[in-house]
Amino acid sequence: MPVDAELQPVLDLLAAMEQPPPMEAGPDAAREGFALLCAAFGPGAQDVTATDITLAGADGPVPGRIYRPAGAAPSTTGAAGLVFLHGGGFVIGSLDTHDALCRDLAAGADITVVSVDYRLAPEHPAPAAAMDAASALDDVVRRAPELGLDPSRLTVGGDSAGGNLAAVTAVAWRDRQRDDPGLAPLRLQVLIYPAVELADEDRFPSMKENAEGYLLTAETMAFFRHHYLSGAVVDAADPLVSPLRTADLAGVAPALVLTAEYDPLRDEGEAYAAALGAAGVEVDLERVEGAIHAFVQMGSTGIGRQAVERICAALRGAVS
């Protein structure tokens, strides 16, 4: 089907703007542009309280933000939680770019969302982001009573690069559980058009079929890979970078995987869902027809709202 009618004006606007190639513009310009784009998507649910906090990263503290539904009933055992990892190709994105989405998830799923501002490349190449994500989850579990959370009802999720980090974090938590069976399993991993294969950019047809004209481009993905991997202490095929190459996925958290028809990352996300299923993991995969990358953040569109509702329903079911 064609691109959704409410998404097409976004693509038309971007096509009309004269922008230098990402490699020429550099990370700072990309961060500024992405922040402006995300701000245009709307403010998100307002019946949510948001508080900035500090979380333990792999090499020191990292910023975080905790979202609670307004009027949420207090619980003696703590609230269910989602540890959220924002997208942005490991180079751009922040707490603020995904503030609206986190608000919508907290309100719609009646869940406490903890958003993690992990370190970005090129200042901090791979696997800094992945290590920060795993450390932040550990910190949330450790501090669950202080944060008003129930450590037995936690989930992890993210979009794009954040979906990569959520997948890596779910594997890391599975490994921790194997060493310490007393740890509660994650209830769900929410992978929103995840980038899970950074070692072979030509492995899947969608990277070529959707290379240009759909917001995220193959050229931009090459820009992200370059900055995330330059100076990295692991290579692109390491599962910390490309979770699709994880040898053993058995026992990781059940997954909701959303992909978009007109997204360069479509096929790799679906391949990861297939790999999870082959390992015996419960997987719910949905390809959203007519959608483009980042559409879940576009809460002013019907297709974006429906996707958020879909995620919220999965979260409610997982933590009930």
Residues annotated as catalytic are 160, 263, 293
Tokens of residue 129, six digits: 């982001």
Long-range contacts of 244-249 (CB under 8 A, 24+ apart): 244/196, 244/197, 244/268, 244/271, 244/272, 244/275, 245/197, 245/199, 246/171, 246/275, 248/279, 249/171, 249/275, 249/276, 249/278, 249/279, 249/281
- Residue 281: what are its φ and ψ, rounded to 5°? -85, 140
Closest CA to 105 of 190, 165, 34, 168: 190
Cβ-Cβ contacts under 8 Å for 45 (sequence gap 6 or more) = 103, 104, 106, 107, 108
Tokens of residue 294, six digits: 């980042």
Cβ-Cβ contacts under 8 Å for 104 (sequence gap 6 or more) = 44, 45, 299, 308, 312
Tally of residues, the chain: 320
Task: For residue 238, give the amino acid letter.
Answer: D
How far apart CA 137 and CA 143 sit, in angstroms, is 10
- The four Cα atoms 168, 171, 176, 182 give a dihedral, to 10 degrees, of 130
The helix/strand/coil state of 77 is: coil
